[in-house]
Amino acid sequence: MTSPDHPRLLLVEDDAVSAAFLGEALRALPAQVVLAGDGAAALRALDAAAFDLWLVDAHLPDGDGIAALSAMRARRPGVVALAHTAARERSVAEALIAAGFAEVLVKPLSADALQAAVRRHLPGATGAGVPLWDDARAERALGGARHVSALRGLFHAELPGVRAEVEAAVRTGDGERLRGLLHRLRASCGFVGAARLEHAVAALHAAPDDPSALRTFLDAVEETLAAFTPVPDHG
């Protein structure tokens, strides 16, 4: 990190009201915040300084967030990026995650939610404070504890094989295969409420060449497998 106490963040946002709110919430972390109004301004900011994390609007005056991220990664590979968008369609979020964003934040969002997301993804964040299982989220997604328990059983059975595939993709340098595996695994984590593993998957997706991200991922897999228990059926 550029500063342990005051990380340096790049906020790419063209709307003045959104930029003012997001900027103030980020400075309250506390953090140093540099604002760029479009993709071209973001590239100029990257040429001038290093950043710990990027927050990129999905729709910009000179293109979309996916194109902006690609150009930014060409300048500064390996930096974690979060997308923010007013679009609520699942297909939009899936496309942004597939393009390399670690998380998609849907606007409007609270200052607390924004700050929590940034803290999760700053360099050095391990996810240790994230619970292994989020039962409430899984039950909302699947419509009840019975469905969650059934899907978690399948998830638990398949996870060792997925772990082996991820390790093989990292070992052979097959980035496309790795991104596909992590994209599918992150979706599965969301359905079954595997919160800590989902965090680790997002971090590895953002920094696939970082050995510490791989280690964190493998540790989260082991913790998730060891702590697997069916969800109590309350109904």
| 89, 121, 153 - which closes a domain | 121
Q: What is the rounded radius of gyration, in angstroms, for the C-alpha atoms of the chain? A: 18
| Residue 103 near residue 113, CB atoms below 8 Å | no
83: buried, middle or exposed (CB in 10 Å: 19+, 13-18, 0-12)? buried
Residues 139, 192 within the same domain: yes
Cα 135 from Cα 6, distance rounded (Å): 34
Helix runs in the chain, H state only: 16-27, 39-48, 65-75, 90-99, 111-121, 135-142, 145-172, 175-192, 195-206, 211-226
The tens digit of pLDDT for each residue in 3-36 reads 445 899 999 999 999 999 999 999 998 999 999 9
Q: Which of 148, 176, 178 is closest to 166 using CA atoms? A: 178
Residue ranges making up the domain that contains 77: 8-121
Establish if 155 belongs to a structural domain.
Answer: yes
190: buried, middle or exposed (CB in 10 Å: 19+, 13-18, 0-12)? middle
Non-local CB neighbours of 28 within 8 Å, separated by 6+ positions: 111, 115
| 121, 143, 159 - which closes a domain | 121
Provide φ and ψ at 96, rounded to 5°. -70, -40
| 95, 121, 147 - which closes a domain | 121
Establish if 234 belongs to a structural domain.
Answer: no
Asked if pLDDT for residue 46 goes beyond 60, the answer is yes
Q: Could you tell me the CATH number of the domain that includes residue 66? A: 3.40.50.2300
Asked if pLDDT for residue 169 goes beyond 80, the answer is yes
Residues 113, 140 within the same domain: no
pLDDT (average), residues 72-78? 91
| Residue 135 near residue 224, CB atoms below 8 Å | no
The tens digit of pLDDT for each residue in 104-137 reads 999 988 888 888 888 878 876 656 557 788 888 7
pLDDT (average), residues 163-168? 96
Question: What pLDDT does residue 124 have?
Answer: 64
* Omega cis (within 30) before 30: yes
Cα 75 from Cα 70, distance rounded (Å): 9
Establish if 127 belongs to a structural domain.
Answer: no
Residue % of the chain over a pLDDT of 70: 92
What total of structural domains would you count in the chain?
Answer: 2
Residues 102, 67 within the same domain: yes
